[in-house]
Amino acid sequence: MRKGYLAAGIAALLLSTVPAAANAANGDAPVVTSAIEPTRERPCQAPPVPPSDPPLEVDPDQLAAPAGTGRPADPAETAMVQAGIDNFLACLNSGDHRKASALFTPRFVRDYMGQQDYEEVSNILGGMRIDDMRISGVTVYADGSFTTEGKYVAYGHSLVNERQYWWRDDDGYLKLNWTEALPSEIPRHAVRVAVDMGEYFFRLSQTRICAPAGTVVLDIRNVGAEPHEAILVQLPDGATPADIFNGRLTPDQVRTIGQGGANAVLSLVRVRPGTYWLIDFIPAPDGVPHAVHGQVARLTVERQASACSQGNPEGEVE
C-alpha cells in the first residue's frame, strides 16, 4: 500500500464562505472555496474513469501546458475555475476516490503519481481530504489551461501552499494537471523537528516533543542517494508499521497526518498527543518499499511539558 501523494503545507486557515467570483479576476484578492462535505447543491460530477490498460496515453498538449505567459482571468473565467475546483473538492472529499480519480489528467497520474493506469489512484487518494481551500492568482493561458495559487488544509492537519495547474478537457471538466509546492506558513508556537532521511533510515532531532499548541513543523532533508519521502501517519494502539505490510492493517486503519519529499517543510496544526510514525513507502531498487528495509521512525507528541523528556537525539528506528 502506498499512502498519499498530494499534499504538503499552508497558511490562512478556516475560511468557509464563498465570495463573488469576480474578486480574483485581477489575481490580487483570493477566492475562497470551502471544502465541506458535498451537498445537494454541490454533487460530485466526474467523467468515466479512463481505461486501465497500460501504457497510459498522455496528451502532448497536457505535457506542454501552460502555453505562453498567461493573463489574469476575467470574472467569467474565474467563476468557471472556481466551479471546477469546487467540483474537484466535492469529489475528492466524498470518499468515492475511484470517481475522483477521473479528475486527474493522465499526465498527473503518470508523471506525478508515478502510475501507469488509474487502478491505483484510489489507494493513493485513500484518507486524502482538502479543507478550507483559498485560491488566488487565477491565470488563463492560450491553450485554455489555468493556474491558481492554492492554500488549504490537507488530512485535517497539514498546511499546504502550492501552485496548481488545471486542464479543461474536451469533456468540459476541470482536471488537475500538475502542482508545485510553494513555501508554507509556519504555525505560531510550532515545535520544530529536523528529519534527515537516507538509505534506509529517518534521523530525528527529537523523537519526543512537547507541543502545547498542537503545532509541529518537520524540516525534512534527503541526505541519501535514492529518492525518499516522509509520510507521517497514526496507527491503531499497539500497531506498528510492519502491520501495514503483513496485512494486519487495512488502508482505512492508517490515518495520514501529512507528507513531505526531499527538502520539504511539513507544517502541521491540531496535532493531538499520541504516537506517530514516519514511513517511506517508495520502493528500493529491489522493488521492496524502503519501510520494509527499516525506514520508519516513531515520534511521540505530548501536550504537557511535565510529561516530556528529551527524546533519542539520534532518532533511531524503533
**pLDDT for 126:** 74
d(CA 105, CA 85): 14
Pick from 152, 188, 121: nearest CA to 12 = 152
| Residue 106, preceding peptide bond in cis (omega within 30° of 0) | no
- The answer on 149 and 43 residing in a single domain is yes
What is the band of 139 on the pLDDT scale with cuts at 50, 70, 90?
Answer: very high
Q: Residue 19: is its pLDDT beyond 80?
A: no
Contact 162, 8 (CB under 8 A): yes
pLDDT at 308: 62
Number of domains in the chain: 2
What's this model's pTM, rounded to 2 decimal places?
0.79
Residues 256-273: pLDDT tens digits? Answer: 999 988 889 999 999 999
Residues 110 and 162 in one domain: yes
Is 315 domain-assigned? no
For residues 91-120, give the mean pLDDT.
90
**Average of per-residue pLDDT across 128-156:** 94
As to burial, measured by CB atoms within 10 angstroms (0-12 exposed, 13-18 middle, 19+ buried), residue 3 is: buried
Q: Which whole number is the average pLDDT over 240-259?
A: 92
Q: Does residue 109 fall inside a structural domain?
A: yes
Residue-number span of the structural domain to which 153 is assigned? 21-181
Q: For position 24, what pLDDT does the model report?
A: 30
**Tell me, what's the pLDDT at 309?**
54
Average pLDDT, the chain: 83
Asked whether residue 1 carries a pLDDT value surpassing 60, the answer given is no
Q: Is the pLDDT of residue 195 over 60?
A: yes
Residues 57 and 123 in one domain: yes
Q: Which residue would you say has higher pLDDT here, 130 or 316?
A: 130
Contact in structure between 31 and 24 (CB atoms under 8 Å): yes
Mean pLDDT of 32-55: 66
Rounded CA separation 165/163 (Å): 7
Query: 116 with 230, same domain?
Result: no
**What's the rounded mean pLDDT across residues 13-34?**
32
205 Ramachandran zone, left/alpha/beta (phi>0; psi -120 to 50) = alpha
**Cell numbers given for 268:** 502541521
User: Looking at this protein, which amino acid is placed at residue 122?
Assistant: S
Residues 41, 146 within the same domain: yes
Residues 115, 232, single domain; the answer is no
Q: Which of residues 163, 181, 199 is at a domain's end?
A: 181
Within 8 A by CB and 6+ apart from 57, the residues are 106
114, 146, 181 - which closes a domain = 181
Q: For residue 23, is pLDDT > 60? A: no
Q: Would the pLDDT of 180 be above 90?
A: yes
How far is CA 170 from each of CA 67, 101, 211, 263, rounded to the nearest angstrom? 17, 17, 49, 37
Residue 2 clears pLDDT 80, i.e. is over it: no
Q: Spell out the alpha helix ranges (H) of the chain.
A: 60-64, 75-93, 97-101, 106-107, 121-124, 242-245
* Domain co-membership, 225 together with 133: no
The answer to whether residue 125 sits within a structural domain is yes
Question: Are 49 and 67 part of one and the same domain?
Answer: yes
Q: Are 312 and 193 in contact (CB under 8 A)?
A: no
Reading the block at residue 3, the C-alpha cell is 499512502
Position 58 pLDDT exceeds 50? yes
- In this predicted structure, what is the pLDDT of residue 305? 67
CA 35 to chain centre: 14
Q: Higher pLDDT residue, 22 or 61?
A: 61
Q: Beta strand pairing status for 146-154 and 130-140?
A: antiparallel
Q: In the predicted model, what is the mean pLDDT of residues 33-39?
A: 38
Give the domain CATH number at 161: 3.10.450
Q: What is the DSSP string of 202-213?
A: EEES-SEEE-TT
State whether 201 and 174 are in the same domain.
Answer: no
Which bin fits 152, alpha (ψ -120 to 50), beta or left (φ > 0)? beta
Inform me whether the pLDDT recorded for 42 exceeds 60: yes
Tell me whether the omega of the peptide bond preceding residue 55 falls within 30 degrees of 0, making it cis.
yes
pLDDT at 307: 62
Mean pLDDT of 132-152: 95
Question: Quick one: 106 and 230 in the same domain?
Answer: no
pLDDT in tens, 67-82: 999 999 999 999 999 9
Q: pLDDT-based confidence at 119, cuts 50/70/90?
A: confident
Q: CA dist 93 to 35, 111, 163, Å?
A: 8, 23, 20
Whether residue 122 sits in one domain with residue 26: yes
Grouping H, G, I as helix, E, B as strand and the rest as coil, residue 97 is helix
